[in-house]
């Protein structure tokens, strides 16, 4: 699909039906009429580096769509919404944990690696989801929680049962709780130590997260092999890869921080090697909440993780907008080393966790709390548990600007479900549930999420007067051509036409106004001249080397700036949304004016 492709202004994918919707048909609301098949979706690419260009979309299966009316979202429900996601422009779904779990940490406490929580469906449902997604050109990756299990996992139950059972060393046990005491406690709001006493085994066990999530002992080769078997099981089913939860903490050792140890890298490299050997075109996306200089190691020499999240960039985008100056962003970009060939950053604005502030200074954290989490209920651990729209006070222009940054900075963007609607949160729900409320599909009962009774629902849908499902929902967004949903769909289409957004070099362009952040994405190495393709590029086969100038006004006031485009002298910038040609770049500074929180993407043509 392209940015300009018409979409049915009043169209809606059937919230309940499985036939037409799942086969790529549209149902007009209220009529039940099927107007005929839409143009076929994109085929699944055979590019082994597909993830470098992909737009990811994070789905909480329990909160996305309930297909069987039990009040809990499920995998079959995700299948029913695939056409919507394909229309939006999503290339890859990232499914949050669907494994059986006591759900004391949103499913990140797995009690069985080989099946699917009954409320989420079955292994067959997942297989169908993968198949249907692939038919629409969408890949599917899933969370893999390999650092720890739930304390209800059979492995742990056996391990704790005695000191000499076959799995006695599958977890990290100790007679005292002082070992490795220098290693920080991550969930500092709820846990006072990384050790917890087990009354059955009469020993302490190690956990980097909640006490009910004992860490697996990777020193034990049996554990390493067991996890590799889990990996193979799901890849055999057809998954396109994994998001590796808490990848930095697999090993721990006295006298270290317990993070980023060489042994951890060695294990991840082994995993990558086996996947590359047996499962082509799959990928690993690491969750490593560290500074870029540490995270870069998780790419190895291009032989470890294919992708890593860039955590420090995210809070700095918010900070830059609030401070109305570019340095929070340019500073972290300057500290970000180049990635090896075949590697890519994952960048995001919000996700299922709190807006993490681990990778900022104390000053910056205080600032972020003051600006974005004035109510203590909004805070969680070292972060802010809020969705995008409330964070930016529902300011459409700021939301567009932040997405403009997200889609144009180096990395593959990861969208969080519901943010395309500017959904709100519910800070009165516990833990991080406030940002995991049901997807809002329609203004009908339960926001179209489920036909179950309200009391049965997985979490209550938002009924907030501003963000509630009555006004903020997919149906309304689709009907309104000027909605944020349509805007994002168009921008994703434009982004797809310009591969430099995905893998081009980034060159920050000097601007004489601190509120203006300008950069050029180009296929040429920084300092080189990109090959100007000009407007005559053949339709449908855009060359990969068109450079794009991105200019962002981080201020809520109109701004002008002179930007230094010296090496692009003679080029004509063409705005990508309206295709308006701007004045040709001359030998002196290039003057630009931008409205409040405005931004331009400009193709640099000619030269």
Partner 1 sequence: MAPLPSALAALAAPYLERQLWYQSAIAGLPPAPIELSNCDVLRDGRPGLSRLLLTQGSRVFQLLVGWRPATAVAGVLKGRESSLLGSALDDAEPVLVYEALADDELIIDLLEVVSGGTETAERVRRVSTLVSHASVVFDERLFMKLYRVLEEGERPEAEAMFRLDSVGFNAILAPVARWRDHGFDLALVREFLPSALEGRLLALTSLRDLLAHASGSDEHGGLRYGQDVRDADVETAAAGGDFASEMRRLGTTTARLHLALRAAFGERTMDAGVLAAGLEGAAALPEGTPGKARELAELAEEIAQLGKGAVGPALRIHGDYHLRRVMRSEIGWIVAGFADDPLYATARPHPSLPARVGSPVEDLADMCFSLHRVAVEALAQRPAAEAELAGELAAAWERRNQASFLEGYVTTPAARSLLPREPATTDALLAAFELVRERRYEATPSEE
| DSSP code string of 570-606 | TEEEEETTT-PBPPPP-SSPEEEEE-TT-EEEEEEEE
| The one segment of 10-18, 82-90, 318-326, 425-433 that binds partner 1 by CB under 8 A | 318-326
| DSSP code string of 433-479 | GGG-PPP---SSGGGGS-SS-GGGSSSPPP--TTTSTTTSSHHHHHH
Which one from 287, 297, 420, 603 is the annotated catalytic residue? 287
Binding of partner 1 at residue 323 (CB under 8 A)?
yes
User: Binder to partner 1 among 327, 394, 444, 479 (CB under 8 A)?
Assistant: 327
Which one from 245, 259, 304, 419 is the annotated catalytic residue? 245
| The one segment of 23-31, 267-275, 319-327, 571-579 that binds partner 1 by CB under 8 A | 319-327
287 in catalytic set: yes
Put the strands of the sheet holding 383-384 in their side by side order: 355-356, 383-384, 379-380
User: Binder to partner 1 among 299, 555, 573, 597 (CB under 8 A)?
Assistant: 555
| The one segment of 88-96, 230-238, 555-563, 592-600 that binds partner 1 by CB under 8 A | 555-563
How many residues are recorded in the chain? 607
| Distance of alpha carbon 268 from alpha carbon 270, whole angstroms | 5
245 in catalytic set: yes
Is the CB of 199 or the CB of 361 nearer to partner 1? 361
Please tell me what DSSP assigns to residue 490: H
516 strand-pairing partners: 553
**Cα within 13 Å of Cα(92), Cβ side:** 29
The 492-511 contact track toward partner 1, x by CB under 8 A, reads ----------------xxxx
User: Measured from the CB of residue 399, what is the shortest distance to partner 1 in angstroms?
Assistant: 16
587 strand-pairing partners: none
Is the CB of 333 or the CB of 407 nearer to partner 1? 333
User: Binder to partner 1 among 557, 580, 581, 591 (CB under 8 A)?
Assistant: 557
Binding of partner 1 at residue 512 (CB under 8 A)?
yes
How many chain residues interact with partner 1 (CB under 8 A)? 28
Closest CA to 128 of 14, 238, 241: 238
User: Binder to partner 1 among 217, 264, 290, 325 (CB under 8 A)?
Assistant: 325
Letter string b/e over residues 178-205, b meaning 16 or more CB atoms within 10 A of that residue's CB: ebbeebeebbeeebeebbbebeebebbb
| The one segment of 71-79, 91-99, 316-324, 457-465 that binds partner 1 by CB under 8 A | 316-324
Binding of partner 1 at residue 515 (CB under 8 A)?
yes
Binding of partner 1 at residue 514 (CB under 8 A)?
yes
Is the CB of 236 or the CB of 393 nearer to partner 1? 393
Is the CB of 408 or the CB of 412 nearer to partner 1? 408
What is the 3-class SS of 387-439, one letter each residue? CHHHHCCCCHHHHHHHHHHHHHCCCEEEEECCHHHCCCCCCCCCCCHHHCCCC
The C-alpha R_g of the chain, in whole angstroms, comes to: 24
Is the CB of 37 or the CB of 510 nearer to partner 1? 510
| Active centre residues (catalytic) | 245, 287
The residues of the shown chain that bind partner 1, judged by CB under 8 A, are: 322-325, 327, 330-331, 333-334, 363-364, 367, 370-371, 508-515, 555-557, 564, 566-567
């Amino acid at each position: 699909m392209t940015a300009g492709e018409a979409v049915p202004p009043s169209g809606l994918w059937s919230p309940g039906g499985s036939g037409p919707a799942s086969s790529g048909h549209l149902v007009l609301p209220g009529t039940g009429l099927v107007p005929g098949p839409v143009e076929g979706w994109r085929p699944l690419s055979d590019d082994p580096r597909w993830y470098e260009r992909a737009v990811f979309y994070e789905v909480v299966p329990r909160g996305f769509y309930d297909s069987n009316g039990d009040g809990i979202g499920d995998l079959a429900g995700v299948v029913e919404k695939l056409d919507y996601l394909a229309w939006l422009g999503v290339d890859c779904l990232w499914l949050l944990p669907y494994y059986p779990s006591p759900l004391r940490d949103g499913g990140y406490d797995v009690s069985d690696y080989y099946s699917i929580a009954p409320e989420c469906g079955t292994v067959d449902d997942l297989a169908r989801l993968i198949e249907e997604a692939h038919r629409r050109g969408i890949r599917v990756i899933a969370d893999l929680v390999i650092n720890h299990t739930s304390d209800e996992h059979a492995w742990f139950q056996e391990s704790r049962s005695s000191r000499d059972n076959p799995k006695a060393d599958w977890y990290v046990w100790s007679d005292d709780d002082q070992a490795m005491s220098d290693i920080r406690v991550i969930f500092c709001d709820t846990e006072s130590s990384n050790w917890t006493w087990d009354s059955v085994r009469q020993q302490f066990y190690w956990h980097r997260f909640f006490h009910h999530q004992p860490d697996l002992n990777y020193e034990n080769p049996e554990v390493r092999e067991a996890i590799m078997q889990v990996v193979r099981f799901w890849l055999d089913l057809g998954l396109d890869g994994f998001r590796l939860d808490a990848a930095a903490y697999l090993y721990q050792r006295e006298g270290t921080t317990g993070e980023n140890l060489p042994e951890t890298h060695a294990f991840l490299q082994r995993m990558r090697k086996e996947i590359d050997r047996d499962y082509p075109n799959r990928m690993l996306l690491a969750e490593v909440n560290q500074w870029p200089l540490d995270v870069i190691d998780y790419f190895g020499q291009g032989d470890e993780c294919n992708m890593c999240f860039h955590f420090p960039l995210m809070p700095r985008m918010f900070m830059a907008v609030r401070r109305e100056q570019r340095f929070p962003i340019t500073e972290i970009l300057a500290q970000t080393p180049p990635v090896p060939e075949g590697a890519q950053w994952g960048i995001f604005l919000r996700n299922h966790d709190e807006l993490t502030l681990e990778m900022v200074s104390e000053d910056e954290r205080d600032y972020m709390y003051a600006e974005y989490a004035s109510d203590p209920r909004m805070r969680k651990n070292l972060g802010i548990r809020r969705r995008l729209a409330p964070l930016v006070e529902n300011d459409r222009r700021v939301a567009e600007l932040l997405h403009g940054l997200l889609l144009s900075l180096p990395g593959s963007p990861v969208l969080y479900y519901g943010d395309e609607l500017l959904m709100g949160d519910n800070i009165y729900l516990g833990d991080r549930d406030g940002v995991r409320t049901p997807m809002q599909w329609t203004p009908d009962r339960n926001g179209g999420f489920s036909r179950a009774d309200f009391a049965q629902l997985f979490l209550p849908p938002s009924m907030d007067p501003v963000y509630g499902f009555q006004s903020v929902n997919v149906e309304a967004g689709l009907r309104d051509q000027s909605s944020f949903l349509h805007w994002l769909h168009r921008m994703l289409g434009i982004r797809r036409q310009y591969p430099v957004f995905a893998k081009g070099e980034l060159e920050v362009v000097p601007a004489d106004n601190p509120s203006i952040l300008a950069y050029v994405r180009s296929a040429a190495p920084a300092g080189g001249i990109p090959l100007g393709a000009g407007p005559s590029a053949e339709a449908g086969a855009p060359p990969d080397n068109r450079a794009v100038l991105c200019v962002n006004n981080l201020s809520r006031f109109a701004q002008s700036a002179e930007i230094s485009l010296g090496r692009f002298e003679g080029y004509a910038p063409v705005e990508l949304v309206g295709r308006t040609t701007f004045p040709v770049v001359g030998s002196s500074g290039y003057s630009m004016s931008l409205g409040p929180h405005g931004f331009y993407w400009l193709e640099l043509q000619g030269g």
